[in-house]
Every structure is written in C-alpha cells, then in structure tokens.
Structure 1
Amino acid sequence: MKKKTLKSLVLSALAATTFAFLPSAGAAIQVNPIPNLSQDFIKGADVSMLPELESLGAKFYDVDGTEMDELQIMKNHGINWIRVRIWNNPKDSYGGGGNTDEARALEMTKRAHALGLKVLVDFHYSDFWADPGKQVTPKAWANHDKDQLVKDVYDYTAKVVKDFQAAGEEPEMIQIGNEVKSGMLWPIGKLPSNDGDKAFSELLNAGLKAVRDNDPDRSIKLMVHLPDGGDNALYRSFFDSVEKNGVKDFDIIGLSYYPFWHGSLESLQQNLDDISARYDKDVIVVETAFGYTNENFDDMKNPYDEKAERIGGFRSTVQGQATGLRAVMERLANVPNGRGTGMFYWEPDWYPVEGAGWKTGEGNEWDNLCMFDKNGKALESWDVYTDVSDQSLPTIAPTFKEVDDVEAAGGAGAPIALPEKVRVTFSDDHAENLPITWNDAAPVFDETGTYPVKGTVLVDGEAHIVNGTVTVVKKTNLVKNPDFENVNLDGWTITGDASAVNAVSKAGDALGQGALHYWSDKAFGFTASQSFDGLEDGLYTVSVQTQGGGGEESYELFIETNGERKATPITDTKWNEWHTFTISDVEVKDGKATIGVTMKAAPGCWGSVDNFEFYKQD
C-alpha cells in the first residue's frame, strides 16, 4: 500500500484539542445518547482473563484512581452482563489465555451474580482457543468417532449446566461453540465438509439439546456464534445449511464484529437486519473492541496498529474508542422489531500484566484494545455505557477536526497517480475517507526528488487544504491498481472461479486499505492478470506480496512475454505473515507482457495478494 503519513497525536495535545467541543469542562469524552436504545439492552464484557490477571497481581482502579474489584468498576459504568469462556481442560494444552476451565467460569458467575450482573457462558469445546483458524478436539475426546463425539458434547454440556444449577448459579445465556464458521471438533466437525454439514450440525444440536433438556422452563437463552459480522453471504450460507439439517432450537445469533477485520458499519447493519428477519432470531454483537492507542506495551506484536486504525475508521484515542462502541450499539438499536438486543466488549481488562499472555510464556496481543491503561486504571471511555442511555445529555453533531497529509510515489517523466481520498478526522474522533480535488490530478515531474502537491477536501460544504508529498524515483511501476488501495479490482482480469476472489479492506488481510483476497468453500482455481503493450525493450522485474494459510495445490507468480512463461512458486505460512516473491531479469523484446498470479486450491484455502510491481530495470 502507499503509505499515508499520520499526524502525530499525543495525550497532552488531546487535552487541548480533542475535547474542545465538549459540552462541559468536566466531561472527559462526549457521547450522544441513542434515542431508541431499549432499557434492557445488554451492555456486556467478556472478562474470562480476570481470574488469571488477579492471580498474577493485577490491580484495577476506577477513573478517579480508587482501587476496586473490576466487576464493580464495570457495573459502576453501566455494564449489566459478563461473558466467560470454558475450555474443557487447559492443562491438556499449552496453558495461558486465562486457563479458563469450568471452575473459573463458575467462580466468575458467582461474583457477577452477587453484583446483580447476568452471565453468558461460552463453550469452546476445546482445551485451548477455538476460532475460525482452529477448532481442536479436546485431548480426552481426540480418538472418538462422530457418534461418540456427539455424546461427549451432550454429556459435557449437561454436566456443566447441572453443576452451575447445583451451585445456584444458572447462567442466563449459553453459546454452543465459539466462532464456528469453520465448524468445531476438527476433523469430524470441520467446515466446509463433504457431508452437507451433517456431522457438524449433529454436534451443534447435541449441545443445544443438552441445555434444553436440563432447562425445562427455557430460562437460559441459547446462542450460535460466528465471526465476520459484516459478511452476510457467510451468515446466509451457514445458517441455511444448519437449519436444513435441523438446527433450529436456539434464540440468538451472535456475531463477532471488529471493524478493522470485519467490514464497514454499513455491512454490519445490513447483515444484522437480514439475519434477524430471515431466521427469526435476536442478534447480539458478542465480540467487539476498539483501540485507545497504537502503542504496544510488551514484546508481543499486537493485531491492532496504525493500519488497523485506518481501516477501522475510529482514531486510536479514548474518545475514538467510546465513539466506536456507541456506533456499534446504535446499529444494534436500529435493527427492526427490537431484535438487536446487546453487545459485549471482548476482554476490556486484559492490560499488560507480566505472565498473563495469550499462551504460556508469550505476551499479550490485546493491551492497546482494552479499556484500562497499562497500569490498570479505567479509561474514561467506560462512560459510553451510561451515556448512550442518558437522554438528558445533549446531542452534538461532530465537526471537522483535521485532515491527514498524504504521500504518493511514481516514476520520472510519467503522470503520478495521486490518492483519490484522504482521511478526515471529526471532533468525536471518528474518521471518514473523503474525495480529494487536486490542483493537478496527474502531475508529471521530470527529475527524481520530492515534490509538494496540494488539493482540497469538502467537509459539510467547507473546503479544507490537503497537503501531499510526491516522491519521484527512476523506476516506474507499470501495474494499474497495484495495491488495491481503493478496495476494488479495477485493472485486473480475473479468470476461472472469479466468485472466489474479491477485494477486501481488513487489517492483517491487507497491507494498507485493501488487497485481493481469495477463499471458497469448494475446490477452486483462478488467475488474476494484467497485460501490457508498447513496452520498451529491456530487462524487467515483477514482484508481489502475499499472506495466507497455505496448502494450495499450485500457486505461482508468473510473467509471459516473447512467447515464453516464467514463474516462481508462492508459499504462504500463516495469517498476516507477509512474504515477497520476485522474478527478475525477464527480457521483453516484442513490447508485450502479461503478469499475474494463478492458483488451484482445495476447499477452505484462503489468503491475500497485495503490492504488485512490474518495472523496467535500470
């Protein structure tokens, strides 16, 4: 991606600028109330890490510096539910991540109920993290066939429910499986499948039935939970399939929605509206989070950074965090017929505490996405939970705050492609990418060097100056739309299974605003290419950057010219681990060339392609 320079933000400056628009001098953040938010709207938080944090000496302080129980702090600021995960036996796996077994979940449920909070219990059916990338069968069940696994799920779920009931701590809600887009209890329950998803559906139904059989009054609400909250096609495909297999007896569809991974708020709204009506279910965003800083407080790389901030659309400030949370709650409040019933923040308490890593011996990836600072003091963004329901507060329209500087690059003597949009930040620290009108839309510079360019962006009818810097180099990248910066596939020819290919804007799946992404639940193959004519004779280089899960049958970067084809294999290793593949010293003699990537892959293969380059060597 073309890098865009962020103006530096420091907390001392925020005190003087970010909050200048606030309604009163004492207010730390500004949050507009949500007029149609129901009184019983779920304002929840997943606090599964809390027992581990406390065992390692973590202390929590309210915004005024008073030390107190974290659950009490959350309740003081409007939280009315908690969520706790259960791993079957963390001792049979790597350890860490809170070591969240049944005993700890029950302990947290007792504490929450004593404070008048309600509880959602999240069954992972694994000894460690279960998510779209891994759904590892518990060690104790590892050699069981499908029928035995169905019985295992039923018996284990029933046991936990009975244990909670015997302790007088029946949870108010239970979810069967965690982010089960890819199924659960692999390999038998893995999706996509060759059996019409029947084995997975049996496993899912076993958990649902175990709760219903032990809850004759149906007082426990039941949830099925997927990731990718902005992907309506995924939700339709998944729930159409399991419903056909008889999975119907549940109350709520849970969604994970992180805007830096899962699409725009508009795509979230469309999905919420559609699935609540299509499947006659309530909907809850059961996982979300927003960064309050881009700083990392330990040696573990965080998934949230400046690029994620840019994609997510909310600045990495306390105000931006609050504004993002309000935006999600507003989308839920807007779901027709009152079916958007709540939201849970995922691990707001996971500040950097020595030893409290995602895995034993490793660090914390979430330290800049929590709602406590690095010393355990609550951020003022907690007030969003009370403020959204306080109809006595004024509604203040956000106003223009600042516009980013931008950067571009190109070759000497050729028109420079300037960015089409620029990030504009508003007074509530939400950001929008708005169109730029350049003084010269395609400048040409004959000499290498750095040059200033200017344009304007229109905000609420008022023009604001956009300052840009162009770096001119000798080599010229001949590829059109090489970095998918505008999140489209313009300039590219997609042949083969084109439905498996799209442009995405998602942190980790793109190196900036966008990337070409591929995935299908069926075997697929495609080629993405561009052709060139009128090339000067000489030696050329083509390169590309990729990331993904790997495992493709064949995957190559290629160039065809002079009737010959050169290619180099592409091998990916894991999500967000980018590699560069290059073919150099390719002689072009007839003025024509075609470059691109091509692959054949099994169902479920996924990855991204970004930052193509094709240029004449010096």
Structure 2
Amino acid sequence: MKTKTLRNLVLSALAAGAIAWGLPAEAAVQVNPIPGLRQDFIMGADVSMLPAMEAVGAKFSDTDGTRMDELQIMKNHGVNWIRVRLWNNPKDGPGGGGDVDEARALALTKRAHALVVMVLLFFHYRVFWAEPGQQHTPMAWANDDEDQLVQDVYDFTKKVFTDFQQAGEQPEMVQIGNELKSGMLWPIGRLPSDDNGAAFSRLMNAGLTAVRDCDPERKTPLMIHLPDGTDNDLYRRFFDMLTENGVTDYDIIGLSYYPFWHGAFSKFQENVDDISARYDKDIVVAETAFGWTTEDFDGASNHFDGAKARKAGVLPTVQGQATGLRTVMECLSKIPGGRGLGSFYWEPDWYAVPGAGWKNGEGNNWENLAMFDEHGKALDSWDVYKDVADQSLPTIAPTVTSIEPVKLAGGTGVPVQLPQTVYVTFSDDHTEDLAVTWEQDAPAFDAAGSYTVHGTVAGIPETVDASITIAQGANLLQNGDFDTMTMEGWTIDGDKGAVDLKSGKGDALGAGALHYWLGTPFHFTVYQTVTGLPDGRYTAEVSTQGKGDAVSYRLVVTSGDVEKSADIKDTGWNVWSTTRVKDIEVRGGTATVAIDLTGKADDWGSIDNVKFYRQD
C-alpha cells in the first residue's frame, strides 16, 4: 500500500538536535537497551522441537553462516534459559510436534546445563499438545476416577522430577500444566465446572505438591500458566478460583502473550501489573513470538499471516521481530517491585524442515515466526537478547517513517464516517494507531466526485489527507471488505472469541475477511449503524463461505422499528455466495446492518464484502 514519507519531520528532528533514526553502521537491527533491567532477567527460548528436528536432518548456523549446535548459537546471543515440554507417553498419540517424552526432555536438559543454561520443565499431562481446545486425559489414565487421577498426577510428576534429580539435572523451574484456561485432564478437570474448579484444583495441587515433596529446600520455583495474556478478567477469575480452593503454593504466574492474537502491549502491561500485585506472585512470559515475514516456506497454512501482522504492533520484518520481543521484555521490566522475571520465545528454532511438522504427516505452521530463516541461518533479531542488557549502547529514539493513506468511498448526501485513527509506522518497525483530528467531522457531499479532507495526527506535526470518492450507489458501510485487517466501524456482541480476521485464498475475497470458528456452541452478532441517511429505499448484501451447519444465520437490517432479514446458507469452503435484503425503507436517517449467527461446535466460515447502498 502506498505510504507518505515524512521527510520534513525527520529533517526537523535533526535540526532540533534530536538523534537520527538511522541504524549504527555495525548494527543489523536497532535495539535500545532497557534501563534498570535486572541482571538475572530470563532470556529464554522454548526449544522442545529441537531433538525431533535434528533427527530428520535439521542444521543450524549463526548469523555469520558458521554451522554449529543450535543451543550454542542461542548461548552466543545471550539466551540463559530454555523451556522444555514433557508429554505423557507420546507414543500413544498421533505423533509429531516433537514427541518429547521423558528421555528426550532429560537429554535436552543435559545439553542446556552443559552450556550453563537453565531449564524450565513443563508438564502437559497429555500424549499430545495440551492447550485450551484440547486437554484430554491420556490413555493410561482414561478410566480413572477423580481420586485415582489425583494420584496419577502426583506419581507421574514425582517420578519425572526424581529421575531428573538422580541424573543430576534438576530443572531450575517447573510448570504444572499448560495454558490451563479450560482446565486439564478432561472431563474430570474441565473448566468451567459446577464445583467451582474443585476437582481441577485437586489435580493442580497434586502436581505442585509432588515437586515440593522432592524439593523441600524449594530450589525449584513453580509456575501456573494461562493463555490470552491481555485478558485480565480471565486471570482474575482463574486465580481467584485457585485461591478459594486453597491452591496458593506456587511462585510464578506464566502467560502466553502473542500480540497478533491477544492484542495491544498496553493491555498486556495492565494485566501483568494487576495480577502480580493481586496475587503477590512473580511474572514470566512463558510464550511469545513475532513474525519476520509473512512468507510460507512449506505449503502448510501459517498461524501468522497478513491479517495477524496488522494486529501485532510491529511489522513482519527481522527488525520488527526484534522490536516486538524487546517491547515484551520492557513491559516485564516495568512491573512494580521488580516482579517481571523474564520471557521465553516459543520455538524460535522451528524453521521448515520436512518431517518435523506439528503432527506426523503434517507441515509446519510456525516457520515465519522462528528466529532462523528457511535455511536454518540465525536471524539478526537474536541480537535483542544481548543488546537489551548492554547499557553502553546508544538509545535511539524511533521516528515516524510513514502514515498509511486514508481512502474512503461514500454516497451523495450521506455523511462520510472518517476513521478516528491512522496507521503509523516508525523507524524501528513498530506501528501504532494514532488519533487523528479532521478539519470536517463526518462531511457530506451533494455531488459525485473526488474530495480531500485534511487531518492532524496526535503527537505528530504533520497532516494526513483523506481521499474520498463520492458516487451514486456507493457502499455506505465503513470497512465492509475488512481489507484494513481491523474491525474498525464494526461492533461485536456475544461470543467475541469465535470471531477473528483472516487472510488467504479461500478464506477472504480480498486482503481480509471476518472469520469465525469455536470448538463449542456459540452466538455472535456483528453490526454497524449508519446515520445521516436520506429517506428512501436501500439494499444490504454480504458474501459468505463456510461449513453451512449453523443453527441460525441471518443478514438483518433495522431502521426505526422495522426489521428485514434474509437467511444465509453456505455450502462449503471457498464456495462464496451473496445474500441480499432489498427494498429497505429508511425513515429517520438511521439504519443498522447486522450479521447474526448461532453456531454449533466447530462451525466455521467467513464474512466479507458487506455492503449497504441506496437504490433510488
């Protein structure tokens, strides 16, 4: 997309004596040191895929091209911790995803300790991935009642921890369970529950107690880990429940925080500041990652794409990857009382290697979030681990490099809703949506043609122009094609977690679309209200594709006390159809266009090109 370079701003900053935004000649990426960063800050990486990758021939080289062990590369760049997952007899599962059993976890721990790198060992208590959508009980325990399952957790945890101790490889931290938002060991430990999490809390206490019994000197701190690092309501509900059920003997709250899924750094900061004080616990980001490209190297659909890049707050570049990780570290360093211990980057090693997929026979949907390129060469973003702690480095203030142009369309006589923010890119490849003040608020134009409205961006001494095309029959909805990769203009009621933005062939007609899916039954309404409409007849339409299994799925238009609707019927992936509601009588200047969906578990589909236009 065309951008406007702010040359005058940069020249003004230089004239005023400000530091230039250019990078030092010897630096491939620019990373400012973090003032007051604790000396023992965890510079961590989850490398649980490494043994499986090496088994199928993965090779690694440092940034200068020198081939060497991946753990040594990380150590060279300042990594001082690794995170190692442990599955319960993965041979009972579908295979893939690292297949990290106790033997592999112990061997990886030995390699780390030999390099004086500390280890966080975390128990999945599953034969395969444990995450909010899948926390099933392993086959070996599937028929056990609650009391026996509590004993199973205790015995398994104690055995593994004791084995590590006897091998002289006691881990420096242990995490009980993984991303426990929906509990663990379903159905007995599922959340939410009618017993306010009592059974789940017993399972948690069993794991915590097993480690404490093996480690009476409490050398190994214990972590409890949740996903969705910006969701303060989730963290309060979950940890309040544990406290009520007597689960208090843990040391660290761990979070998964992926800005491209979970949202703004400011919301993350608010959450960690609150929960560290509320529960008197230290904080560790157990998982985070940032994309260095949107390219796909193995044909498997990647988690991180163009739509996610927009939400991440940093560009999908090597510099953006470094800036994103540094920002997470800075947030942790700001937690009052020094309670932010550090962070782990999730699977920075997992570049696309045939045979090392997330599941046997499947590819890798993570390679553009790794910190190695498609050939296994370390990216320059690894420098962030050393540079954030090097107070001798200069601090270079980022400056604005571009403002995304504003291009809008509207109809004659109808006020045009101008955006409240504009998308601004900075020299360190971080991005911000900054407030803009327009010289005209919701302008209306009586004749077809092209118009320009000027605006001023908050904190930036530069104007931005909105280019507006007015035509008969123009779409009166803002962001109806979702190509901005944002929800600007739209409101969602109901199960917001079922709705996301997605790009890619088949899932969107253009650059983006509204996508829905949830593993449980769900309902949502997404809508937009248009004001200042001349009286008359209007048409609404929407293009959709999807599973076609919804309980109820409608395009609904309301004006005053009159409602008109049409059922939406889908027939499969990438089979797009358009649903219309015609002859909508608008009186009083206001109309609301809504898509209302009640779905079954695992229903999915896309909503795109929502339009509302005047017929006469």
Task: Give the TM-score of the pair, scaled to structure 1.
Answer: 0.84
Cα–Cα, structure 1 residues 475 and 361, in superposed 2: closer, same or farther, change >3 Å?
A: farther
Alignment of 1:246-261 (within 5 A): 246-261=246-261
Question: Within 1, Cα distance between the matches of 2:569 and 2:210?
Answer: 46
Structure 2 letter corresponding to 1:242: L
Match of 1:124 in 2: 124
- With 454-463 and 144-153 compared, the bigger mean Cα shift is at 454-463
| SS of corresponding position for 1:368 | helix
Question: Is this contact kept in 1: 2:541–2:579, CA < 8 A?
Answer: yes
Match of 1:184 in 2: 184
Question: Is this contact kept in 1: 2:269–2:331, CA < 8 A?
Answer: yes
Match of 1:151 in 2: 151
Match of 2:374 in 1: 374
Structure 2 letter corresponding to 1:255: L
Cα–Cα, structure 1 residues 96 and 6, in superposed 2: closer, same or farther, change >3 Å?
A: farther
Structure 1 letter corresponding to 2:422: V
Match of 2:11 in 1: none
Match of 1:540 in 2: 539
Alignment of 1:220-235 (within 5 A): 220-235=220-235
Alignment of 1:44-83 (within 5 A): 44-83=44-83
Structure 2 letter corresponding to 1:138: P
Cα–Cα, structure 1 residues 104 and 454, in superposed 2: closer, same or farther, change >3 Å?
A: farther
Question: Within 1, Cα distance between the matches of 2:606 and 2:224?
Answer: 28
Alignment of 1:331-342 (within 5 A): 331-342=331-342
Structure 1 residues 135-177: Cα deviation after superposition (integer angstroms, max 9, x where no partner) = 1222222233322222222221112112211211111111111
Alignment of 1:257-272 (within 5 A): 257-272=257-272
- With 105-114 and 395-404 compared, the bigger mean Cα shift is at 395-404
Question: Is this contact kept in 2: 1:136–1:186, CA < 8 A?
Answer: yes
| SS of corresponding position for 1:113 | helix
Q: Does 1:38 align with 2:38?
A: yes
Match of 2:115 in 1: 115
- Gapped regions of structure 1 (runs ≥ 5): 10-18
Question: Is this contact kept in 2: 1:106–1:164, CA < 8 A?
Answer: yes
Cα–Cα, structure 1 residues 143 and 394, in superposed 2: closer, same or farther, change >3 Å?
A: same
| SS of corresponding position for 2:462 | strand
Question: Within 2, Cα distance between the matches of 1:403 and 1:104?
Answer: 49
Q: How far is 1:414 from its partner?
A: 4.1
Question: Is this contact kept in 1: 2:63–2:379, CA < 8 A?
Answer: yes
Question: Is this contact kept in 2: 1:541–1:617, CA < 8 A?
Answer: no
Structure 1 residues 507-532: Cα deviation after superposition (integer angstroms, max 9, x where no partner) = 65999999799999999887968598
Question: Is this contact kept in 2: 1:487–1:514, CA < 8 A?
Answer: no
Structure 1 residues 45-98: Cα deviation after superposition (integer angstroms, max 9, x where no partner) = 000111111112111111111111110110111100000111213222222211
Q: Does 1:208 align with 2:244?
A: no
Question: Within 2, Cα distance between the matches of 1:168 and 1:196?
Answer: 40
Structure 2 letter corresponding to 1:588: I
Structure 1 residues 410-434: Cα deviation after superposition (integer angstroms, max 9, x where no partner) = 3466444343322221121111122
| SS of corresponding position for 1:315 | coil
Question: Within 2, Cα distance between the matches of 1:438 and 1:524?
Answer: 37
Q: Does 1:170 align with 2:170?
A: yes
Structure 1 residues 166-219: Cα deviation after superposition (integer angstroms, max 9, x where no partner) = 211111111111111111122222212222111211222221112112222211
Match of 1:615 among 607, 613, 616: 613
Q: How far is 1:464 from its partner?
A: 5.0
Match of 2:13 in 1: none
Question: Is this contact kept in 2: 1:292–1:318, CA < 8 A?
Answer: yes
| SS of corresponding position for 2:184 | coil
Cα–Cα, structure 1 residues 362 and 617, in superposed 2: closer, same or farther, change >3 Å?
A: farther
Alignment of 1:516-531 (within 5 A): none
Structure 1 residues 394-418: Cα deviation after superposition (integer angstroms, max 9, x where no partner) = 1121122222234333346644434
Q: Does 1:396 align with 2:396?
A: yes
Alignment of 1:505-520 (within 5 A): none
Question: Within 1, Cα distance between the matches of 2:181 and 2:606?
Answer: 19
Match of 1:588 in 2: 584
Question: Is this contact kept in 2: 1:311–1:505, CA < 8 A?
Answer: no
Structure 2 letter corresponding to 1:145: D
| SS of corresponding position for 1:29 | coil
Q: How far is 1:533 from its partner?
A: 9.7
Cα–Cα, structure 1 residues 335 and 520, in superposed 2: closer, same or farther, change >3 Å?
A: farther
Question: Within 2, Cα distance between the matches of 1:400 and 1:489?
Answer: 23
Question: Within 1, Cα distance between the matches of 2:100 and 2:278?
Answer: 34
Q: How far is 1:587 from its partner?
A: 3.7
Cα–Cα, structure 1 residues 23 and 49, in superposed 2: closer, same or farther, change >3 Å?
A: same
Question: Is this contact kept in 1: 2:476–2:530, CA < 8 A?
Answer: no
- How many residues in Structure 1 have an aligned counterpart in Structure 2? 593
Cα–Cα, structure 1 residues 501 and 477, in superposed 2: closer, same or farther, change >3 Å?
A: farther
Question: Within 1, Cα distance between the matches of 2:335 and 2:499?
Answer: 24
Question: Within 1, Cα distance between the matches of 2:22 and 2:54?
Answer: 36
Question: Within 2, Cα distance between the matches of 1:469 and 1:490?
Answer: 18
Question: Within 2, Cα distance between the matches of 1:568 and 1:134?
Answer: 33
| SS of corresponding position for 1:106 | helix
Question: Within 1, Cα distance between the matches of 2:256 and 2:569?
Answer: 31
Identity of aligned residues (%): 52
| SS of corresponding position for 1:154 | helix
| SS of corresponding position for 2:297 | coil
Question: Is this contact kept in 2: 1:557–1:570, CA < 8 A?
Answer: no
What CA RMSD, in Å, does the superposition of the two structures yield over aligned residues? 4.1
Question: Is this contact kept in 2: 1:77–1:382, CA < 8 A?
Answer: yes
Structure 2 letter corresponding to 1:96: G
Q: Does 1:475 align with 2:487?
A: no
